[in-house]
Copies of this chain bind each other. A is one copy, B any other.
Amino acid sequence: MSRKISFTGIERLALYYRYLTSLSRSERAFISSEELAKAVGHTAAQVRRDFSCFGTFGTPGKGYDTAELEATLSEILGKEKTWNVVLVGVGNLGSALLAYRGFQSQHYTVVAAFDTDIRKIGKHLEGLEIQDSRDLADLIPRTGAKIGIVSVPGDAAQEVVDALVSAGIKGILNFAPTRVTVPKGVIVQHVDLSIELDRLCYGLVHPPM
């Protein structure tokens, strides 16, 4: 018990959780750290260590009760409730994200979409009316959203992020190729597509050895 989960550990927790939900109506009531590890590409020790950060919920000799583990992970990951999400920037990527199933799931709902382009404002997409970005400060607080997705051009990102933060957003998923800064208490996750490609590219140029 009691050690802080590592940053990458959270990603693993989400993977364990996803795997468990994919098992769904399997008969198997228990799963071992070994099997979980294999499923997500890590080691059994890693799995046990990750869990140990949050308590002790396995049974020696048997493993983890799948239903119970799923529920526990759900709670740890904050999936007990559905999160309202807003999206700013309905360009190519933004529209795709609006339609993305992972973002319109049991746990997340996009409740508002914004853009500055007058030609897009008022149009409907995936059941949402696109709003004027200038109304962001008014509209977001009413939705109760705490998460914002930013898919605007790089040079607009910081400005949008500032507006989101003012409007009460606490977590930002930033797809713009710009490292934005936020005040303490707000979290940003960067999803930087061209840098993912760059990393791949580096790997190809520098073979493992």
Contacts and interface: CB of A to CB of B under 8 A. Distances in A.
Interface stretch (A55-63, A64-72, A132-140, A199-207): A199-207
A23 interface: no
Interface string A171-208: 11100010101000101010101111111111111110
B191 A193 contact: yes
B201 A77 contact: yes
Interface in A86-108: 92-93, 95-97, 99-100, 102-103, 105, 107-108
Interface stretch (A6-14, A25-33, A115-123, A159-167): A6-14
Given A103-B194, A191-B191, A191-B196, A171 B201 contact: yes
Contact of A177 (B92, B102, B173, B177): B102
Query: Main SS of the interface on chain A?
Result: helix
A79 B206 CA distance: 12
Contacts of A15: 179, 195
B193 A100 contact: yes
Copies in the complex: 2
Interface string A72-84: 0000111100010
A76 B170 CA distance: 37
A77 B179 contact: no
Interface of A: 10-11, 13-15, 17-18, 40-41, 76-79, 83, 85, 92-93, 95-97, 99-100, 102-103, 105, 107-108, 146-147, 170-173, 177, 179, 181, 185, 187, 189, 191, 193-207
